[in-house]
């Protein structure tokens, strides 16, 4: 079972306006005791981009929990059971217990690991890999880094 979500890691330019300079990050977290996480930087949050990441990294037949963002609408038409929570109503779907708190709880930690000067597509990948290794693996960071790069 996986939960998915996305955030933009960045900051407002000159601390004005509403536009945020930065990188979109899409995340998947297992709903298992280990709570392994996968993180991907994406240029655009297109439905097809996110669906392809799901197809590449989530086993057919898995249950996917998400919010009701429209790019996720077709997940249930693939080989997955898609269950949602509508955040405009509540952060927990009380009918079935679905929530996205597991992935939501990671976003602030992820943001803290990426210096503001490196919140660009060209830099962020190494920080996402480092976060995944620290979160998913036990033991020596250098040894585990080699496992991720090979």
Say which residue the tokens 């300079």 belong to.
21
Domain count, the chain: 1
The residue-averaged pLDDT of 127-139 equals 87
Q: What is the CA radius of gyration of the chain?
A: 16
pLDDT tens-digit map of 17-72: 555 667 889 999 988 888 899 999 998 888 889 999 999 999 999 988 888 888 88
What pTM was estimated for this model as a whole? 0.76
SS3 50: helix
Q: Taking residues 128-143, what's their average pLDDT?
A: 83
pLDDT digits (tens, 9 = 90+) for 61-82: 998 888 888 888 888 777 898 8
Angle of helix 121-136 relative to helix 101-113, nearest 10 degrees?
120
Give the CATH number, domain containing residue 33: 3.30.420.10
d(CA 139, CA 134): 9
Range of the domain at 11: 2-149
């Amino acid at each position: 079972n996986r939960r998915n979500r996305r955030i933009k890691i960045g900051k407002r330019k000159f601390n004005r306006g509403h536009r945020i300079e930065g990188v979109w990050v899409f995340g998947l977290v297992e709903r298992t005791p280990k709570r392994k996480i996968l993180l991907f930087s994406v240029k655009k949050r297109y439905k097809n981009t996110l669906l392809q990441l799901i197809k590449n990294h989530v086993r057919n037949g898995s249950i996917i929990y998400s919010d009701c963002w429209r790019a996720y609408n077709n997940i249930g038409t693939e080989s997955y059971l898609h269950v949602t929570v509508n955040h405009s109503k509540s952060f927990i779907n009380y009918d079935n217990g679905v929530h996205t708190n597991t992935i939501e709880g990671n976003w602030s930690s992820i943001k803290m690991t990426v210096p503001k000067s490196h919140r660009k597509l060209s830099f962020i990948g190494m920080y996402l890999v480092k976060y995944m290794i620290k979160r998913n693996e036990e033991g020596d960071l250098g040894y585990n880094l080699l496992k991720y790069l090979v």
